[in-house]
């Protein structure tokens, strides 16, 4: 099937907006201060070791790539946003993790088929706009028998609800773009991969978040540092009433999930499978 030039141009524009959005704020601080152990949880589930070639897709600043490298694997971290890769290089230097940082699109990975023993993504590939295209690429670059491992926020969990809330404050996505938290639904992931994977494990877990004293502190942190939230506020520039409404909604969301002393549980799906073909 031939892709029409106007469709290709629209997709390039969409990816440019995504790249710019994730460069807003300070996502590396979200990864290191709020969810620092999430990547290590994924790496432990996939258990790469010395001699294994690992790809971290939509790697951000290396939340999974760095612990995989420290486990002895040969790691490539790929992300659409160069600013995040640069931050990852700096973070990896501290513990001496050797990672090859590459710019690339999760829906068109710049690697030959079957290049990796393990293909991972920690709350990353879920933000690629076309889920089937991204899943196809994860399978393509994984060798037969290799492991594909994902951690994604669930639709019903805290981050899934955050994105549902922000829909009222952001422009509608282009046709064909799917909501990121669908990747946290085991049935959706099963449909994406089908019989191309076996030995599937799908477990719901929760990241324990104790970074914020209260809802207002969460709101202010995400308002300044989390790219999608920063973009939502920019969309409201000049509309003081809507800004105030989003302020209240974000604070209320965190308050409702506070189980005491500012501690929240952010639900995720930990999914692993082995490529069959």
Compute the average pLDDT of residues 192-210: 98
2 — pLDDT class (breaks 50, 70, 90): very low
Q: What is the pLDDT of residue 8?
A: 83
Can you give the pLDDT at residue 5? 57
C-alpha to C-alpha distance for 9 and 262, rounded to whole angstroms = 45
Q: What's the confidence (pLDDT) of residue 3?
A: 46
Average pLDDT over residues 211-239: 97
Q: What is the mean pLDDT of the chain?
A: 96
In order of their start, the domains of the chain are 12-206+267-275 (3.40.50.150)
The number of CA neighbours under 13 Å toward the Cβ of 57 is 30
Mean pLDDT across the stretch 65-72? 98
Asked if residue 250 has pLDDT above 60, the reply is yes
Would you tell me how many other CB atoms lie within 10 Å of the CB of residue 243?
16
Asked if pLDDT for residue 1 goes beyond 70, the answer is no
**Per-residue pLDDT, 10:** 87
Angle at 134 between CA 130 and CA 136, to 5 degrees: 120
The pLDDT assigned to 134 comes to 98
Listed in sequence order, the residues at least 6 apart from 222 whose beta carbon sits closer than 8 Å to its beta carbon are 30, 162, 229, 250
DSSP 203: E
What is the model's pTM? Answer: 0.95
What integer is the mean pLDDT of 17-44?
Answer: 97
- What's the pLDDT score for residue 255? 97
Q: Is the pLDDT of residue 113 over 90?
A: yes
Write the pLDDT tens digit of every residue in 133-186.
999 999 999 999 999 999 999 999 999 999 999 999 999 999 999 999 999 999
pLDDT of 88:
98
- From residue 15, give the alpha-carbon distance in Å to each of 37, 79, 81, 208: 28, 12, 10, 31
């Amino acid at each position: 099937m031939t892709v029409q030039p106007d469709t290709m141009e629209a997709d390039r524009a969409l990816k440019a907006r995504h790249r710019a959005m994730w460069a807003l704020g300070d996502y590396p601080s979200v990864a290191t201060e709020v969810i620092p152990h999430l990547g290590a949880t994924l790496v432990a589930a996939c258990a790469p070791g010395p001699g294994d070639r690992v790809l971290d897709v939509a790697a951000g600043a290396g939340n999974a790539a760095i612990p995989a490298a420290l486990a002895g694997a040969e790691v490539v971290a790929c992300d659409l946003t160069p600013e995040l890769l640069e931050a990852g290089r700096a973070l990896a230097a501290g513990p001496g993790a050797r990672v090859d940082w590459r710019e690339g699109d999760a829906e068109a990975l710049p690697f030959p088929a079957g290049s990796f023993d393990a293909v991972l993504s920690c709350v990353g590939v879920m933000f690629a706009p076309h889920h089937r295209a991204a899943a196809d690429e994860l399978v393509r670059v994984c060798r037969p028998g290799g492991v594909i491992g994902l951690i994604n926020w669930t639709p019903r969990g805290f981050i899934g609800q955050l994105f549902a809330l922000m829909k009222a404050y952001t422009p509608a996505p282009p046709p064909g773009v799917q909501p990121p938290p669908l990747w946290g639904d085991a049935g959706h992931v099963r449909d994406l991969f089908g019989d191309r994977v076996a030995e599937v494990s799908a477990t719901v877990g929760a990241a324990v978040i104790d970074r914020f004293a209260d809802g207002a502190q969460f709101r202010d942190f995400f308002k300044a540092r989390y790219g999608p939230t920063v973009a939502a506020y920019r969309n409201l520039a000049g509309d003081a009433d809507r800004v105030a409404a989003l302020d209240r909604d974000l604070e209320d969301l965190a308050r409702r999930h506070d189980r005491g002393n500012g501690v929240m549980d952010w639900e995720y799906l930990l999914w692993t499978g082995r490529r069959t073909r």
